[in-house]
Amino acid sequence: GAVVSQHPSWVICKSGTSVKIECRSLDFQATTMFWYRQFPKQSLMLMATSNEGSKATYEQGVEKDKFLINHASLTLSTLTVTSAHPEDSSFYICSATGTESYEQYFGPGTRLTVT
């Protein structure tokens, strides 16, 4: 149980375009979803927290107009990187919590490369 999927697993896009990453909880309802970014050889950095039907809460320093998060249902959250630039190239990981809010279940990650 507690499986989280992400789509796509990797994506290459051109500078200036937007790209959407989906995060789904497959076998449970996710009360809260989290989005992380991980640069090479670094730790995971929390970008934002979202609850179904509510606006996402962004961490300090994360541009909410650039990283649009939509948590439309209890099983789906999306992250849209708008007007992507090469410096946005990174590994994006989502996670979700179910009834036990203290434990997050992680997706496999999406590798974004902006050329």
Burial class (CB in 10 A: 0-12, 13-18, 19+), 71: buried
DSSP letter assigned to residue 9? S
Note whether 93 binds another protein by CB under 8 A. Answer: yes
- Residue 86: is the preceding peptide bond cis (ω within 30°)? no
Using the minimum distance from each CB to another protein, give the nearer residue, 78 or 104. Answer: 104
Question: Contacts with another protein: how many residues (CB under 8 A)?
Answer: 21
Closest CA to 6 of 99, 101, 103, 92: 92
Residues in 20-79 that interact with another protein by CB under 8 A: 34, 38, 41-44, 46, 49
Stretch that binds another protein, among 11-19, 72-80, 81-89, 101-109 (CB under 8 A): 101-109
Closest distance between another protein and the C-beta of residue 90, in Å?
11
Give the span between the Cα atoms of 98 and 110, in whole angstroms: 22
Helix (H, G, I), strand (E, B) or coil at 51: strand
Closest CB to another protein among 61 and 101? 101
Which residues form the interface with another protein (CB under 8 A)?
34, 38, 41-44, 46, 49, 91, 93, 95, 97, 101-106, 108-109, 111
